[in-house]
Amino acid sequence: MTKIGVLRFPGTNCDRDVFEAVESAGASVAAGSNTKPEWLWHADRFDAKAYSALYLPGGFSYGDYLRSGALAARSPAMASVREAAERGTPVLGICNGFQILCEAGLLPGALVKNQGLRFIDDWVDLKLENSNPTFARTATTGQRAKLPIAHADGRFVISEDELK
């Protein structure tokens, strides 16, 4: 049995959508057949070796107090996420999940307030630069997709050194 972990933090939303998407994709989500999603709670460490992929859904973890994802990045489960990432386990952060991964130092750069300091709710064009079979098995490099965005802290900043 291949297990996929879906993390939950206070304020997470769309987590059921992610769980159901993993569940409905079934055998083809990650490392082969008989794939099953499992809930992982922010307050609990977990066995990083037991999961073939991890998802951090979106939302407003801890109400986005301090900074988006800052409090969630310091939760006990994130030590296990870090261990899994260091072992090479694929980790996908969606929306606030991406912010959490940046705040935890698992991704370079940071997400800061949008220009104009306003909340943005829009659709953006995304170009796939890497067709990772774990998360984009039916997509090809160079393919474009329209994705919804909704955030106040969505401006990604990164130094030239980190970008290399």
We report the CATH number of the domain holding residue 136 as: 3.40.50.880
Interior angle at CA 23, CA 19 and CA 24, nearest 5: 120
Calculate mean pLDDT across residues 41-66. 90
Is residue 161's pLDDT more than 60? yes
DSSP 8-state secondary structure symbol assigned to residue 121: E
Please give the pLDDT value at position 39: 94
pLDDT one-digit tens code per residue, 113-158: 999 999 999 999 988 887 666 666 677 888 898 988 888 888 999 9
Distance CA 21, CA 158 (A): 31
Please give the pLDDT value at position 159: 93
Structural domains counted in the chain: 1
The pTM of the full predicted model, rounded to 2 decimals, is 0.84
Q: Which domain holds residue 13?
A: 2-163
Buried b (16+ CB within 10 A) or exposed e, 9-28: bebbeebeebbeebeeeeee
Please give the pLDDT value at position 138: 73
Confidence band of 62 (pLDDT split at 50, 70, 90): confident
